[in-house]
Amino acid sequence: MALSNTLNTNEIKNAAGTEVEYSARQIGPGSFKEFAKIGEQYNLPDRLSVKIQESGQGINKRRRTLTRFDETVMSGVDASLPVTGSIYVVSDFPIGALTNTTLSASLVAKMNSFMASDGAGTTILYAGTGTGAKVHINGEI
């Protein structure tokens, strides 16, 4: 299923669990799509980009996918200084050697649960309080 050009049906939520809507801004070349937050300020871009690259052939064929968010805000230290933060996920799957998506789905599930849950709970935590999210936010292992 191809990624829609408008992500406005709860595909993306912010830390408060509120929907954030994005619209395709740039498509191509190849397997690349960039989205801009609907209603973003020109000087404070909020972007999502997805890039897919396949290499090799036969049993050695691999698919590498990069999903990246970049958001610009005004600095809390200097209100005249815009600063940008980024987070991205890279997947690398040996698709030529697989007959189904079980491995891919398992790894995505593990990443999602590590980032968005706190261990014993099964609730998705959008506030950045999941175990893996805390590692990224606080810089502590």
Question: What is the pTM (predicted TM-score) of this model?
Answer: 0.90
Q: How do residues 50-62 score in pLDDT, each as one tens digit?
A: 999 999 999 999 9
Which of 21-30, 71-80, 85-94 shows the lowest per-residue confidence on average (mean pLDDT)? 21-30
User: Are the beta carbons of 119 and 95 closer than 8 angstroms?
Assistant: no
Domains and CATH numbers, the chain: 1-98 (3.30.380.10), 100-141 (no CATH)
Structure tokens at 70: 């970049």
Q: How do residues 99-116 score in pLDDT, each as one tens digit?
A: 999 999 999 999 999 999
CB atoms within 10 A of CB 1: 3
What are the φ and ψ backbone dihedral angles of 9, each rounded to 5 degrees?
A: -125, 55
Q: How do residues 1-30 score in pLDDT, each as one tens digit?
A: 688 999 998 899 999 999 999 999 988 877
